[in-house]
Structure 1
Amino acid sequence: MTDSPIRQVWPGRTSGPLDDEAIAELYGRAAHLRVNFVTSLDGAAHLDGYSAGLSGGPDKRVFAVLRMLCDALVVGAGTLRHEGYRALRLDDRRRGWRRERGLTEFPTLVVVSGTLDLDPAQAAFAEAPVRPLVLTHAGAPAHRRAALAPVADVLTLGEDALDLPAALRALHERGHRQLLCEGGPALLGALTAADLVDELCLTVSPLLAGPGASRITTGPPGPPRAMTLRHVLTADDVLLLRHSR
């Protein structure tokens, strides 16, 4: 997968490649929860345990634009640990884009964790340009709360399990209206079950991963949620799809 120009093929068709401004305009900023994932042609969420094996230049470019657009980036603790998240930073050009629109220079990292099994020394916390938020419930261990307190604000929402609707309301009250979720599969499953997903941005990598890999969503079964296709972008054999309610 090469870093090929991105073009719009539906609705309509662009004759030339899209720059970042055009991509940002296509996706836009709205007060809702947007989810971004990559998958293989046969539905795998990873190769050899990591999503990076499915990603390429076009996916990473849209990935960066979506981070530029959001107020807060929401991620599950397991994905944060496993994928080795670093500090949530943007380059000078994207920071300038945000400043021109009255946004903070950096989005806020929001980590969802029921156990608070998080390392305060991980760069995502220790080197964060904006103090991260951690969403948890009342049953989370007190000693782990104390360990995270120097590097993050820990919000308690729910008694025995995280109350996701209340969590989103709390984020909105803090001014985080455009939320971008990057997973993982358990968090997407929980958000879908709670009927909180407003938009899914899905990169389809031109690979057959074969048996073994999990899907982009896991958890107890629930009712299907209908979505509407908004646009289709392509870069060589890569598809970049956007569906919303």
Structure 2
Amino acid sequence: MRGVAQAVCRARRRPTPGTAFTLIELLVTVAVIGLVVAAVLPALSKAREYGRRAYCVNNLRQLGLLVAMYADENNGYLPRFGYKVTPQGPPGQHKVEIEFTNGALDILQINRNLLRCPSDRTGSAIPFGGSPSNKIPVSYFYNFALYWLNYRTPGLDLAGTSVFFDGESKSGNLGGGWWMPKNPGGGGKDITTLNTKFLDRRHFNKVNVVFLDGHVEWLADLPESAWTPL
């Protein structure tokens, strides 16, 4: 009987497969997982933003290429985009709204996705299809000096002159709320001031800019020379 009893006791003491976590062990595990997630998420977010910036760079390169192709086919003249004129405002000035849908280069007929940066959260948009309520998002602004002064590419500093840049409208519409002189020297705000006002440093507090020679730079700011072609 003694042998049978000892065998029964040994059977009862036999460890069961797998050991349950204690409460302390479970809490420690959860804490470690939380620390790992907290460490990894910022890196993942940063990696995603680098990806969005690369997408934006590709958009700007293609826009720069379109401008270069246009100039090549038009005796070196750079594209002039449409604008709206309103009677209100300071004397001798008009309200300007750059519209990629009008003018000599209708980008929307090519690929409207080129106008949208994935990091843009400003809500800037332009009318499309003849209806003010029908708008498409636009993330990039055109160097207004190129538009207003009717430059040609021969003789310009192609590598040092900006064309498109990450832009931010203060009113939700491109160009809304600011004024340009009706002719150079006619008063109003300086072109450099206007362009700088609408820079949107959406990529790690920097802005993507494409230049006339087609290269794109990632800059904290642009020197005045980048706005004036000569």
TM-score tier, shorter chain, comes to under 0.3
TM-score by length of 1: 0.25
**Higher relative contact order structure (alpha carbons within 8 Å, sequence separation ≥ 6):** 1
Give the structure with the larger helix fraction: 2
The structure that has the greater radius of gyration is 2
